Amino acid sequence: MKKGKASNLIFFIVYMAAIMFISAKSQQTFYIIGAVMGCLLFFSVFVRGNFYFKPYFTSRYNIFTSKVKHQKEFDLPKDILVDKMAEVLSEAGFKVRHADKVSGDLFATSKATMSSWGENIYIKLHEENGTTKVDFCSVCIFGIISWGKNERNYEHMMETFENSLII
């Protein structure tokens, strides 16, 4: 999926919701908004395990997802760090769904809990000036507020990573 398609989809959904909102009678408005929100939830749950929907979930125009981004630098080579990060994600309780050594992309998901519908974890590794930079992004699949879950995902992953280096 290309980057522009995710923002086009969101724009179309918001546009259709606005038209329905304006044209609906007052009592039906809430039913229509509820139906649109239900469709968005169903769509998000249905496609959440597919790496190719990353632009949809991480788009700044997607107001229905809460996102947290971090960047960290390591003195390890990218090809070793990709394997280590995949191992750490599994140990931290995330399900690794995609790992590509060449591009440095990792994708994992967390289980749904009482406070969240689940999160998608996107990690991108790239080498710069002899170091490897890790871009971490945790996204709630449906929720304007993450209640700190995205931050806890990052902290838990980094804690697990640091503990895995202790001999």
User: What is the pLDDT, as a whole number, of residue 32?
Assistant: 76
What's the pTM? 0.80
User: What is the pLDDT, as a whole number, of residue 140?
Assistant: 92
> Domain limits at 49?
3-58
Q: Are residues 10 and 88 in the same domain?
A: no
* CA atoms of 110 and 116, how far apart (whole Å): 10
Q: Are residues 84 and 137 in the same domain?
A: yes
User: What is the pLDDT, as a whole number, of residue 10?
Assistant: 64
CA distances, 132 to each of 45, 107, 150 (Å): 32, 18, 23
User: What is the pLDDT, as a whole number, of residue 22?
Assistant: 66
User: What is the pLDDT, as a whole number, of residue 26?
Assistant: 60
User: What is the pLDDT, as a whole number, of residue 1?
Assistant: 41
Q: Are residues 51 and 80 in the same domain?
A: no
Given a cut of 70, the residues of the chain with pLDDT beneath it are: 1-12, 16-17, 19-27, 167
* CA atoms of 77 and 126, how far apart (whole Å): 9
End position of a domain, from candidates 15, 34, 58:
58
Q: What is the 3-state secondary structure (H, E, C) of 35-55?
A: HHHHHHHHHHHHHCCCHHHHH
Q: Are residues 31 and 106 in the same domain?
A: no
> Scanning the structure block, which residue is given the tokens 């990792």?
106
Containing 56, the helix (H) or strand (E) segment is helix 54-58
User: What is the pLDDT, as a whole number, of residue 112?
Assistant: 85
The total of structural domains in the chain comes to: 2
Q: Are residues 76 and 144 in the same domain?
A: yes
CATH code, domain carrying 81: 3.30.530.50
